Structure 1
Amino acid sequence: MALALMWEAKAAPGRGEDLLAWARARRLDPAPERRETFVAPQDRVLVITWWPDAVPVPPELPDPPGELLARPPHRWRFTPVES
């Protein structure tokens, strides 16, 4: 894997389940090699996707509808390092 993308958002009060459902329903084209979804306290949702070198510009999750969010999503790109 050549790239890991992390997407994290904090839900508006009482909207954690809605934000999680929204994130889980988003499909990426092409699909990543691997995708994992996590939740954390304070209604945070984290999605990590792993991409091969063959996908030069991997798609990212878009911003959810504003009413689901307490703040805009954070996005990070990580590349592996040799051990």
Structure 2
Amino acid sequence: MTVVTLMWEARAADGRGGELLAWARAQELATAPVRRETFTAPGDRVLVLTWWNAPLDADLPELPEPSPELVTRPVHRWRFESHGT
């Protein structure tokens, strides 16, 4: 089975990193992924990775766009296919 990882990354508006983190952690997906992790980075960035047993082009649920006042730009999204270690 192919494993695909969806990456969702957003940059919070000034001083709103904690709010963006809380918002991202509260988002539920229609189907549960095999694994989900949430990260933060300097610059009030929030990153969410989800892992799925699915092909790269599968129709999978993704986190939505947060409200415009919470972020400085549109969310960045990428898909990655695992090739093992």
What TM-score results when the alignment is normalised by the length of structure 1?
A: 0.92
Determine the structure 2 residue equivalent to 1:53. Answer: 54
Determine the structure 2 residue equivalent to 1:27. Answer: 28
Shift of 1:53: 2.2
Structure 1, unpaired ranges of 5+: none
Cα distance in 1, alignment partners of residues 82 and 74 from structure 2: 26
Cα distance in 1, alignment partners of residues 22 and 31 from structure 2: 20
Determine the structure 2 residue equivalent to 1:43. Answer: 44
Q: Which runs of 4+ in 1 moved over 6 A?
A: none
Cα distance in 1, alignment partners of residues 33 and 66 from structure 2: 20
Shift of 1:17: 0.4
Structure 2, unpaired ranges of 5+: none
Determine the structure 1 residue equivalent to 2:83. Answer: 81
Cα distance in 1, alignment partners of residues 31 and 7 from structure 2: 17
61, 64, 77: which is aligned to 1:62? 64
Shift of 1:82: 4.8
Amino acid corresponding to residue 36 of structure 1 in structure 2: E
Aligned pair count reads 82
Amino acid corresponding to residue 27 of structure 2 in structure 1: R
What TM-score results when the alignment is normalised by the length of structure 2?
A: 0.90
